[in-house]
Amino acid sequence: MPETPLKGWSYSPDVPVQVSPFFQWPLRPLDMLKWVWHSWFLISEKLLIVGLAFISFYWFQPPLEQTKSLAFDWIGLMYARNLVLMTLVAGGLHLFFYAFTKQGKELRYDARPLLKKGRQFTLGAQVRDNMFWTLASGVTIWTAYEVLMFWAMANGYAPMLTWAANPVWFVALFFLVPVWESFYFYWIHRFLHIPFLYKHVHALHHRNVNVGPWSGLSMHPVEHVIYLGTVLIHWVVAAHPVHILFHLQYYTLSAATTHCGFEGLVVKDQNRLNLGTFHHQMHHRYFECNYGSLEIPWDKLFGSFHDGTSASHERIQKRRLGKMGD
Ligand SMILES: [Zn+2]
Ligand SMILES: [Zn+2]
Q: How far, in Å, CA of 234 to CA of 12, rounded?
A: 37
> For residues 228 and 142, is the Cβ–Cβ distance under 8 A?
yes
Neighbouring residues of 221: CB distance < 8 A, sequence distance ≥ 6? 137, 141
Task: Note the ligand closest to the C-alpha atom of 288.
Answer: 1
Q: Helices 45-59 & 241-258, crossing angle to 10 degrees?
A: 140
Q: Which of 236, 251, 234 is nearest to 53 (CA)?
A: 251
pLDDT, position 134: 98
- What is the identity of the amino acid at 83? L
How far, in Å, is the centroid of ligand 1 from the Cα of 193?
6
Residue 2 pLDDT exceeds 60: no
Distance 301 CA to ligand 2 centre (A): 21
More confident residue, 195 or 28: 195
Question: How much distance in Å is there from the Cα of 287 to the middle of ligand 1?
Answer: 7
Q: For residues 13 and 304, is the Cβ–Cβ distance under 8 A?
A: no
pLDDT value, residue 324: 59
CA of 61 to the centre of ligand 2 (A): 29
At 323, the pLDDT band (50, 70, 90 cuts) reads low
Cα 297 to ligand 2 centre (Å)? 17
Contact 231, 244 (CB under 8 A): yes
Contact residues for 13 (Cβ-Cβ < 8 A; gap 6+) = 263, 278, 308
Tell me the whole-structure pTM to 2 decimals. Answer: 0.88
d(CA 103, CA 2): 27
Q: How far is the CA of 22 from the centre of ligand 2 (A)?
A: 24
Mind listing the pLDDT tens digit for each residue in 255-302? Answer: 999 999 999 998 888 888 889 999 999 999 988 899 998 888 898 888
